[in-house]
Amino acid sequence: MFSRSAFTYEALPLPDRSSMSDKEMITAAKAFYEKMSSRHSVRDFSDQPVSRQVIEDCIRTAGSAPSGANHQPWHFVAIKDPEKKRQIRRAAEEEERAFYDGGASDEWIKALAPISTGPEKPHLETAPWLIVIFAQRYGEFDDGTRYKNYYVNESVGIATGFLLAALHHAGLVALTHTPNPMKFLNALLERPASEKPVMIIPVGHPATNATVPAVAKIKKPLREIMTVFGDGNDL
């Protein structure tokens, strides 16, 4: 929670400075790409337990993401309780059935066919943890008055990316799940109306028989996702 008195500018020397050589940077960038390219969205989870400490540290990483005006407009709810997970699954599947039974366009359903998803979401109970991400439309000062948050969607999106990278780095698998609408999560998780649920992320270890859709391994080549102005072969 922010205090009004904290809204003053103070310059600090850069506390963490990297001093890699060009060669070291190339090696580090390549290694991180190789690590992240082994990440997969998984729907088949083991019930193997995961330490709360791991989840907390991954959420700490998410909380270190940049945000509009440094307002950090996010909240993460970590759920291990079996009954709470069961309630979330029941409510999510109700929304999913409405989606697949006519709520979605034919084009959308066709686009999902190669991924082979459906209204049944057993992973919401099997995964040892669920992390629900909320976006905060506005915040409150310590005296209770409201202040506006800026670039909320962009900020929460960046934090979500940090979280997924941290979970993968910790040796876990995850799935980004977005039933629509998700208003039921505010009531189930006791979050205020100022917060909008944006994603449910089941987290854990993959089941021994886990599979991924073949289409998930098809990624656009660099030439289709990058444009360079200037010399692209500096080194």
Rounded Cα gap, residues 65 and 62, in angstroms: 6
Q: What is the pLDDT of residue 72?
A: 96
Alpha helices in the chain (DSSP H): 22-36, 52-63, 82-98, 106-112, 123-126, 152-169, 184-188, 222-225
CA dihedral over 199, 202, 206, 209, signed as positive or negative: negative
pLDDT averaged per 10 residues in sequence order, the chain, 235 residues: 69 92 97 97 97 98 96 97 98 90 83 86 97 95 88 98 98 95 95 96 98 93 94 60
Burial of 95 (0-12, 13-18, 19+ CB in 10 A): middle
- The radius of gyration of the chain from alpha carbons, rounded to an integer in Å, stands at 20
Rounded Cα gap, residues 107 and 94, in angstroms: 21
Residue with tokens 């506006």, as numbered in its chain:
148
Q: Which fold has domain 40-216?
A: NADH Oxidase (3.40.109)
